[in-house]
Structure 1
Amino acid sequence: MDSIDEVLGELPMPPYVTAEDVGFAVRAVTVHAAEQWPEGPRCRNDRAPHPCRLHRWGRRVLDRRGLSDRQVQALIAEQEAPRK
């Protein structure tokens, strides 16, 4: 965990997870994906050690919604697909 994470702690979870929360969570996981650096995996958005706070929050939201890894991967692929 990064030193800023120790100070700020985890992002709070919504009281119940809505479809809108799932959209935000997929975006967080997509934008805050891992990127390999010489010192190890880092968030490609903010360069914090991966998984960063927003990536962890997104995964917790998706887990609480009860989505399987396959469903999460499908949502991420949909998010990353080029728009027509």
Structure 2
Amino acid sequence: MRVGEQSTDPIDLILGEVPVPAPLTPEDVRLAVRAVVVHAAEEWPNGPLCRNDGASYPCRLHRWGRRVLENHGLNDRQIEALIRHGNPFVHVPFPFTYGSPAQGRAATPPARQAPGYPARSQAGSAGYPPRSQAGRVGAPGTRPALRPGGPGRPVAPPATAPRWPRAS
């Protein structure tokens, strides 16, 4: 079955189509990306089925996600690229502008720098300290605050990378 055709699945005939929200929000776009990626086609001997719920492809959520992304301004090639990418959490800018950069923005984004520090070429000049992690300074005569969790309980360092292996 093609993407634009009406489904013959009994549940689709009963429930109908999922309505597309009139004013799209960034959350709608994020959910639509997840819907088209997670509910992608999987080839079976009797034809393509939804990878997630086994319904005939395209299922209700895939059709809804595709309609939302088309209303957001993506074309079929871009939606297919999202599906091939396979990451349901990929970021689609909101509002989506295709082609030239938005009005009022520079063509190339400015280099990012930490707030309160000069650019790298000026790091040694003007009396600024070199870039490093600054320690906490408390009032004189005060004890450092105890971490929550109780005495003797180890506190894990902040995670810098996910602990699980990446899907390949």
Report the 3-state secondary structure (helix = DSSP H, G, I; strand = E; otherwise coil) of the residue aligned with 1:56: helix
Question: What is residue 3 of structure 1 aligned with on the other side?
Answer: 10
Give the Å deviation of 1:75.
4.4
Tell whether 2:21 aligns with 1:21: no
Q: Which moved more, 1:15-24 or 1:64-73?
A: 64-73
Tell whether 2:93 aligns with 1:64: no
Greater fraction of residues in strand:
1
Report the 3-state secondary structure (helix = DSSP H, G, I; strand = E; otherwise coil) of the residue aligned with 1:49: coil
Normalization by structure 1: what TM-score?
Answer: 0.84
Identity %: 61
Per chain length, whose mean CA-contact separation is higher, i.e. which structure has more relative contact order (CA < 8 Å, sep 6+)? 1
* Runs of 5+ unmatched residues, structure 2: 1-6, 91-165
Count of aligned positions: 83
Given candidates 50, 53, 57, the residue that maps to 2:60 is 53
User: 1:6 & 1:34 partners in 2: Cα distance?
Assistant: 20
Greater fraction of residues in helix:
1
Question: What is residue 43 of structure 1 aligned with on the other side?
Answer: 50
* Runs of 5+ unmatched residues, structure 1: none
Give the Å deviation of 1:79.
2.4
Which 4+ residue blocks in structure 1 deviate beyond 2 angstroms?
A: 68-83
Normalization by structure 2: what TM-score?
Answer: 0.45
Give the Å deviation of 1:23.
0.7
Report the 3-state secondary structure (helix = DSSP H, G, I; strand = E; otherwise coil) of the residue aligned with 1:79: coil
Q: Tell me which structure has the larger Cα radius of gyration.
A: 2
CA RMSD of aligned residues (A): 2.1
User: 2:82 & 2:30 partners in 1: Cα distance?
Assistant: 9
User: Once the two structures are superposed, what CA deviation does each residue of 1:23-81 show, in whole Å capped at 9, x if it has no partner?
Assistant: 10000000000001111000010000000000000000000111123443454427258
